[in-house]
Amino acid sequence: MNMLQVSVWRGGGDGEYRSYEVPRQESQSVLDVVTYIQRNIDATLSYRFACRVGMCGACAMTVNGVARWTCRTHVAKVDQGGAIQIAPLANLPVVKDLVSDMREFFDKWARARGQFAPRATRKDAFARVASDSPGRLAADAGIECIGCGVCYASCDVVSWNPDYLGPAALNRAWTLVNDVRDGARRERLAAVAGDAGCHACHTHLSCSERCPKSIAPTASIAGLKRAVAIAAWKGEL
């Protein structure tokens, strides 16, 4: 039988790679490989997944050094001479094996004021937002983010400056800055204007390169830079 040599990170942050042999199958995803190891070789292997079809983002891991959704990555695409290496997402603490601690990632969404702050009350009429309005189009470009952490794990600035809010949180802030129903624009721009905010981005484009949803957080961050500069110019910040 054709076997795949799989190197899997085991343990916490100070763990190590351990090797496994997994039968190669047609249309096999990397998530299938991890599941095979846990069900047939070592039941103590920890990993995270939910939908298996690229909707939840829970199964994001580092495959051959690149952050990916394992459910949507065919082994055939990443196989290097019959071998693959699987590790937890970079730039996040390791809980155990392939499970990374996402707390800091989501805390940064809150720090970037990623919460919608409604302008209206339930007594007001529904807001009407034209689908072709510039704000709506700008929000649309970034709104499909499902928070998988692939961009955050791929970002060098996060590695260099652990306080950096990161591409996903800033992308979220940008979608809200363009939401005409939102009432916290000034506070949000102030939240993303600091040293760890949008201006820390070095435009490596790793986030845009790796995003499985083909979102370009770099474009959102560039938008925030412009919005912050204009607000500062007008004395609003």
Contact positions vs another protein (CB under 8 A): 9, 13, 62, 64-67, 87-92, 94, 100, 141, 153-154, 156, 159, 202-206, 208-210, 216, 218-219, 222, 225-226
Q: How many helices (H) and strands (E) does the chain have?
A: 10, 7
| Largest CA-CA distance found in the chain, in angstroms, rounded | 69
In order, the DSSP letters of 133-173 are SHHHHHHHHHTT----SHHHHH-HHHHH-TT---HHHHHHH
* Cβ 208 to another protein shortest distance, Å: 8
Q: Looking at beta carbons only, is 29 or 91 nearer to another protein? A: 91
Q: How far apart are CB 223 and another protein at their closest, in Å?
A: 9
Q: Closest Cα to residue 7, out of 16, 19, 25?
A: 19
CB nearer to another protein: pick between 187 and 209: 209
Joined tokens for residue 97? 């094996």
Give min distance, CB of 78 to another protein, in A: 11
CB-wise, 184 or 201, nearer to another protein?
201
SS3 96: strand
Residue placing its CB nearer to another protein in the complex, 34 or 67: 67
Tell me whether residue 60 or residue 184 sits nearer to another protein (CB atom).
Answer: 60
Helix H or strand E encompassing 31: helix 30-36
In the complex, least distance from residue 171 CB atom to another protein, rounded to whole angstroms: 14
In this structure, what DSSP letter does residue 70 have?
A: S
Q: At closest approach, how far in Å is the CB of 193 from another protein?
A: 16
Do residues 113 and 176 make contact, with C-beta atoms less than 8 angstroms apart?
A: yes
